[in-house]
Amino acid sequence: MDSTTVLVLNGPNLNLLGERQPEVYGSDTLADVEELCRAACEVAGLTLDFRQSNHEGTLVDWVQEGRRGIAGIVINAAGYTHTSVALHDALAAVTVPRVEVHISDIHAREEFRRHSYLTAVTDEQIIGRGVQGYAEAISWVAEQGSTS
């Protein structure tokens, strides 16, 4: 990875996009999201490193891997958003722009989904914009690079 790379991390169950609760998350698959991100990176002159894991420790490892020297991190931690102090702590050590993304509006859902451990350690949050939120996050990361 280098200073033009955007690391897009996806947490548990996002591999089931398009089939899991389409009334909440829509019909786009994770492959569709990856293509959307790739197109957004191309427009911004960035490269994409797109990953998904159902394992918290793997996500922590990836955050640590991207903590410096890249354009930024976009993370949809999915269920770990509401439970993971470990991801919070990993993101706190990051020196590149960090964007928290959620497809649905977590603030309008069940009570347990309304708290994010990541918000305090991310620079931007894009919530409830559907999968388009990923493209918005990549654009935001690109803007940070152009203003630094």
Question: Could you give the residue numbers annotated as active site?
Answer: 25, 102
Q: Is 89 annotated as a binding residue?
A: yes
Q: Does the annotation list 10 as a binding residue?
A: no
Q: Does residue 76 have a known ligand-binding role?
A: yes
Q: Is 8 helix (H, G, I), strand (E, B) or coil?
A: strand
Q: How many beta carbons lie within 10 A of that of residue 1, not counting itself?
A: 14
Nearest alpha carbon to residue 4 among 64, 32, 63, 45 = 45
123 is in an annotated binding site: no
What 8-state DSSP symbol labels residue 13? T
DSSP string covering 74-110, please? EEE-GGGGGT-HHHHHHHHT--S-EEEEESS-GGGS-
Instruction: Compute, in degrees rounded to 10, the torsion defined by CA atoms 50, 76, 104, 33.
Output: 0
**Is 49 annotated for ligand binding?**
no
Phi first, then psi, for residue 115 (nearest 5°) are -105, 130
Answer yes or no: is 103 a known binding residue: yes
Annotated binding site: 76, 82, 89, 103-104, 113
Annotated binding site for substrate: 76, 82, 89, 103-104, 113
